Structure 1
Amino acid sequence: MLTIMTSFADITTIGVGGHIARFLEPTSRVGVIEAVEDADAKGLPLCVIGGGSNMLVADEPFNGVVIRDARRRITVPDEAAPVENGERTVHINAEAGCNWDDFVAFTVELGLEGVEGLSGIPGTVGASVVQNIGAYGQEVASTVETVEVWDRKDKKTLEIAAADMGFGYRMSKLKASMYTAPATPAADFFPTPRYVVLSVTFALRHSATGTVGYGQLAKALGVEVGDRMETQTIRNAVLKVRAAKGMLEDAGRYATPAMAGTKRTDQVAIAQRAQAAQQNAASASSTPSDEREELAALTPDYNRHSCGSFFMNPILTLEAAATLPADAPRFDATLPDGTLGVKTSAAWLIDHAGFHKGFTVTADARAGLSTLHTLALTNRGGASAADVAALAKTVQDGVEQAFGVRLIPEPVVIGIDLR
């Protein structure tokens, strides 16, 4: 188990947050459990962190324990090739600390279908099931078979079947244990769920092709929704679409001491080259191309310094949805009580409330909306958590005033009230 001095600013994608009193990186399953148990036994604040991509932490010191699982092994209990009876399901087990995009790359390289649409999402395998990550027509819930966890309340390991995980839109049984109401932390289990993920077993399909399940992705590929294409082609297209919206993490973070070794070296190199090429292509500089490429590789892309999508798409009652403008996006959805509701677009609400791409609270503000995507709040360089919170509250208040809808943050927000 490694112990280093660090802050949340060092280990989160948005690059803000205070000093951490004790930061641990257990290298074994037992080590993870013991670290969690030790913090709980001492009554210390506990934060189990993945890739730090879905977290906004206050600037004040965190006087507790932060644990980052250093286990990143992926195993294939089944044969990777279809067996003689035509069975195409392949089970893959990944330890909680495995980088999520490393996992996706591994499955695509192995010729498996099921998570290629989730390419480029920052974070870890453990965090993926807490949040039930989703994008471009896929959700992690659709491929999870079981989740191995440590139950902090009953002090034992459990294997939770997917059917018992309480998966919903950006929700799971694990995440639900942290809140008593939207954005309202629970007293006993926050900012770490009652159930700490140890490993996840996925059931994927042996196939070199996957389904293009989202309109924006289909447009990028020049095909129709529902068409099938090679999973590697889908993965590449997803990465390009996400990059164009600034919704990929800054690959340069893996060159820092606090993040070194947390992602596959080959995947870091691929991401760095792609990011440099994108910045190079966007530059109108007269600098020679070889120099521009070198500079781009070293220049931070501030649109990528974010928590990703900062607000969840609201799911409204039919009555509340009826008050929205006629052109507001509407999708069938299910409310937490199981009744029919309507999901609308947080990005649409933000933009139509007057907060456009690049919006900042003041002219010299260090936090602002992405210049590419209104749903991302970004650190433009030197921002504090307070700067980001001020921007978030301004957007929340403006959307509520315009449409009567209070946006709920998607990230775990520690030490800041954004209700």
Structure 2
Amino acid sequence: MPQVTPLPLKQLTTLRTGGAPARMIDAHTTEELVDALREVWAGGDDWFVLGGGSNLFVGDEPYDGTVIRILTNGIETLASPNPGHVRVRVQAGHNWDDFVAWTVETGLAGVEAMSGIPGTVGAAPVQNVGAYGQETVQTLVEVELFDEGDENPVTVPAADLELGFRTSVLKNHYGDIAPRRAVILSATFELEMVGHAERVVRGEQLRAALGLDADQAVSIQWIRDHVLATRARKGMVLDDADPDTYSAGSFFQNAVVTAAFARTLPDECPRWPVAPDPNPVQVIALAEFTGAVPPLATSEPDVKVSCGWLIEHAGIGKGFHLPRSRAGLSTKHALALTNRGGASAAEIAELARYIRGRVSAEFGLEMQPEPVLIGVEL
């Protein structure tokens, strides 16, 4: 068993908080990862897996449990049943942006707009990571999954993960335990073989973010380069020299609200309609069926609203920090809570509570944290 001397979690998380766990295991292969999980589950100890540490907010006290670091690596190319496409199976510990860079170099489209997102491939399906109109759900085919307490891993289709806006059945949301306690061992994606030629960008949100006309053609390398530059300007590409990147990315996720609630917000608040289910299912009990199918009830689609805009218009600007606190908002991005250098988890939590309360008081919206919180309360 590859047990190692535990490192303080502040050295392994991008928010740079967290004490050392009681026990730490480094899993460099799938076999080591499976064996480590079996042992920890059999012992009944508290545990969690750690990839890139970019979506974790860990408390100051030492963690009384086992941390398993997923350090597996590798990409395998597979055949696809769909012409013009290829499938790739990627190990869970593989760096996400390294994977995206590989797809672009290989001429495969489907994840290039998610360039620069920190973390590992195994973490991407857990919260259905996305950027500029691309999301994991659009290309994910299946995952190799090991459910807690089971004998062996299983291959699970993407549909079984119930991927939604920054969520899945595998994610621990603040205040809730994930419906399915399991660890991703690998993920398989289906990507389009487009080569390196220029082509028209399909996604309206991506075109808008990159300033492209509807019929303007660019290569996937051009998209990657410009997405990385855009994210860097927002302090969303990890850089040891820039404290604005000492964060967990967007600390609060943009809220999906009803159309009626969205109308209570100022007209200037950016918003985007959430696409309704194109194939709604209507179930009619056989005993109640009269031979006629009633029309489906229709409703306005939900709306995604910008929590960054709400924060700033609640009077909390970029670079804000509480007196004598070493935690503050990024100077570039109002959704990123940052560790300005040596901040404790308590300081970051205090700032998060303050911002959350101000937005709630001003707009009646309770923002939800996006990172997984371990040993921290807001």
Category of TM-score, reference length = shorter chain: 0.7 to 0.9
Q: Which moved more, 1:235-244 or 1:39-48?
A: 39-48
Deviations 1:365-417 (A, max 9, x none): 20000000100000101101111101100000000000010100000011112
Superposed, which structure 2 residues align to 1:252-291 within 5 Å? Answer: 252=240
Residue aligning to 1:12:
13
**Superposition TM-score, scaled by structure 1 size:** 0.80
Distance in 1 between residues matched to 2:200 and 2:39, nearest whole Å: 45
Deviations 1:51-88 (A, max 9, x none): 00011000000011111111111111239xxx9xx921
CA contact (8 A) 2:22 2:63 kept: yes
| Aligned counterparts, 1:200-349, within 5 A | 200-208=187-195, 209=198, 212=201, 218=207, 221-225=210-214, 227-250=216-239, 252=240, 300-333=241-274, 340-349=301-310
Structure 1, unaligned runs of 5 or more: 253-299
Structure 2 letter corresponding to 1:301: D
Paired with 2:71 and 2:267, the residues of 1 have a C-alpha distance of 49
Higher alpha-carbon deviation: 18-27 or 100-109:
18-27
- 1:243 corresponds to which letter in structure 2? A
| Cross-structure match for 2:368 | 408
Q: CA deviation at 1:318?
A: 2.9
Q: Percent identity?
A: 44
Counterpart check, 1:198 vs 2:185: yes
CA contact (8 A) 1:246 1:304 kept: yes
Q: 1:211 to 1:384 in 2, by over 3 A?
A: farther
Contact kept, 8 Å, 2:52 with 2:120, in 1: the verdict is yes
Give TM-score scaled by structure 2 length: 0.88
In 2 relative to 1, CA 215–99 (structure 1 residues): closer, same or farther, beyond 3 Å? same
Question: Given residue 194 of structure 2, which amino acid in structure 1 is its aligned partner?
Answer: S
Question: What is the match of residue 94 of structure 1?
Answer: 90
User: Where does residue 290 of structure 2 map in the other structure?
Assistant: none
| 2:41–2:149 contact (8 Å) kept in structure 1 | no
* 1:295 corresponds to: none
SS at match of 1:184: coil
d(CA) in 2 for partners of 1:68, 1:225: 44
1:60 maps to which residue? Answer: 61
Q: Quick check: 1:136 aligned with 2:137?
A: no
* C-alpha distance in 2 between matches for 1:318 and 1:399: 19
Q: Would you say the 8 A contact 1:316–1:335 is kept in 2?
A: no
Moved over 6 A (4+): none
Q: Distance in 2 between matches of 1:18 and 1:211?
A: 48
Cα 1:14–1:225 shift into 2, 3 Å: farther
Give, in whole Å, the separation in 1 of the partners of 2:13 and 2:302.
Answer: 34
* Residue type at the aligned position of 2:109: E
Letter in 2 for 1:184: G
Partner SS, residue 41 of structure 1 = helix
User: Are the aligned partners of 1:73 and 1:98 in contact in 2 as well (CA < 8 Å)?
Assistant: yes
Partner of 1:281: none
Shift of 1:2: 5.0
The residue number in structure 2 matching 1:74 is 75
Q: Summarize the Cα distance change of 1:366–1:212 in structure 2 as closer, same or farther, 3 Å threshold.
A: farther
Is the Cα contact below 8 Å between 2:113 and 2:206 reproduced in 1? no
Shift of 1:219: 5.8
Bigger mean CA offset, 22-31 vs 109-118: 22-31
Q: CA RMSD in A?
A: 2.3
Matching residue's letter, 1:68:
R
The Cα shift of 1:196 comes to 0.4
Aligned residue in 2 for 1:398 = 358
Q: Does 1:378 align with 2:338?
A: yes
C-alpha separation in 2, matches of 1:58 and 1:210: 47
Q: SS of the residue aligned with 1:76?
A: strand
User: How is 1:353-372 mapped onto 2 (pairs within 5 angstroms)?
Assistant: 353-362=314-323, 364-372=324-332
CA contact (8 A) 1:114 1:210 kept: no
Q: Are 1:184 and 2:162 an aligned pair?
A: no
2: CA distance, partners of 1:76 / 1:402: 51
SS in 2 for 1:185: coil
In the aligned structure 2, how far is the partner of 1:222 from the partner of 1:345? 19
CA distance in 2, matches of 1:221, 1:333: 21
1:123 equivalenced with 2:123 (yes/no): no
Q: Following TM superposition, by how much is the alpha carbon of 1:155 offset from its aligned partner in structure 2, in angstroms?
A: 3.6
Residues in 1 aligned to 2:127 and 2:84: alpha-carbon distance in whole angstroms: 27
Report the secondary structure of 2:125's partner residue.
helix
2:312: which partner in 1?
Answer: 351
Supply the distance in 2 between the matched residues of 1:154 and 1:222 (Cα, whole angstroms): 49
1:136 to 1:23, Cα distance in 2 relative to 1, 3 A: same
> Does the 8 Å contact 1:96/1:125 carry over to 2?
yes
In the alignment, does 2:8 pair up with 1:47?
no
348-357 vs 201-210, which moves further: 201-210
The count of residues paired between Structure 1 and Structure 2 equals 354
Runs of 5+ in structure 2 lacking a partner?
281-298
What is the CA deviation profile of residues 160-209 of structure 1, one whole-angstrom value per residue up to 9, with x for unaligned ones? 1122221110011211xx35xxx2132xx69xx61200001110010135
Q: CA deviation at 1:226?
A: 6.4
Once residues 211 and 27 of structure 2 are traced to their aligned partners in structure 1, the CA distance between those partners, rounded to angstroms, is: 45
CA distance in structure 2 between the partners assigned to 1:124 and 1:227 by the alignment: 32
Task: Pick closer, same or farther for the CA change 1:213–1:377 going to 2, 3 Å.
Answer: farther
**Alpha carbons of structure 1 residues 360 and 225: separation in structure 2 relative to 1, 3 Å:** farther
Q: Distance in 2 between matches of 1:150 and 1:237?
A: 37
